[in-house]
Structure 1
Amino acid sequence: MARAFDVRKLIKKLGFEKGDIYFVKQMGKALLCTYAIFGLAWWCNETNVFGWWNIQIRPKEEREMAHLYERIRYPYPGDKEAFDEFVKSGGAIGTTIGPKGFIDSDNDTETLQKQLQSQKFEQEAQKLWFRMRNEVIQELQEKGFDIE
């Protein structure tokens, strides 16, 4: 009555012989330990209890942008005071509820687009200038002039 089920019957149904009980027992222990270790590693990676140890290595760009991806604890929407305090404290900067996340007007987007176009134009002009300069230098070197 102490055992909920008979191990020997289960092993027999799985297709093992009577002498294979020791093997099945060792494999069960190994699987249990393996899953326990992987579970512990997964839990430590998620909660980061040590503060200085992560299983995954983060690239430099991700570390620099980590503040954008922090988990934010939002207040319950029904709690008016907590929600107002959350918005006053800066809220989720860059989202629609944060005061710093709103776009002021359509003029800002137009000027931004013009700036991007002018930067792109400058880059293309610089590429063309370098290409022409390199062609001239190459032609002069072919004619025998020494250019450094």
Structure 2
Amino acid sequence: MLNDIGIIKSIDKYGLEGSLKHLYKEGNYSSRIAYFLIWTNLSGLIGLLFGFLISLGLTIKKKMFWLNALIVFIIALLLNRFGLFHIKIINTIFFSLGNLVSHFGLEYEFIINGTILLTLGLFIFFNKWTNNFAFNYQAKKTNVIPEK
């Protein structure tokens, strides 16, 4: 969640120390920084919770075992807690195209990176191979042949 893009632009333009001096000249800099940090830290947890609820709803609707969604949620929560989502290799792979357009402005970098991740997620979600993998396992377990 980017609730205050001005802070990000200031850090990008002046660096950390220069942006703090620049924000100090404004009257409400402490509340802006506090709200920015709160929403930045909470947005990952909110996203994980929404993803878990969507996954849980789909697994219940498709009559799959609900514990799968819970296990993935717990693993993702632990990865988020220990900061393993922010590994340099992952950032290099998924955010390199956004870095190419960062000189146009920070907004374009966020739009490109968000589009890439959304496209990847939708591809995995609607891919027939991943759906067949999940539902063929379920069909073998219940001895029902899925319709094609």
Same fold (TM over 0.5): no
Rg comparison, structure with higher value: 1
TM-score (norm 2): 0.26
Q: Whose RCO is larger (CA < 8 A, sep 6+)?
A: 2
Structure holding more helix per residue = 2
In the superposition, the TM-score normalised over structure 1's length comes to 0.26
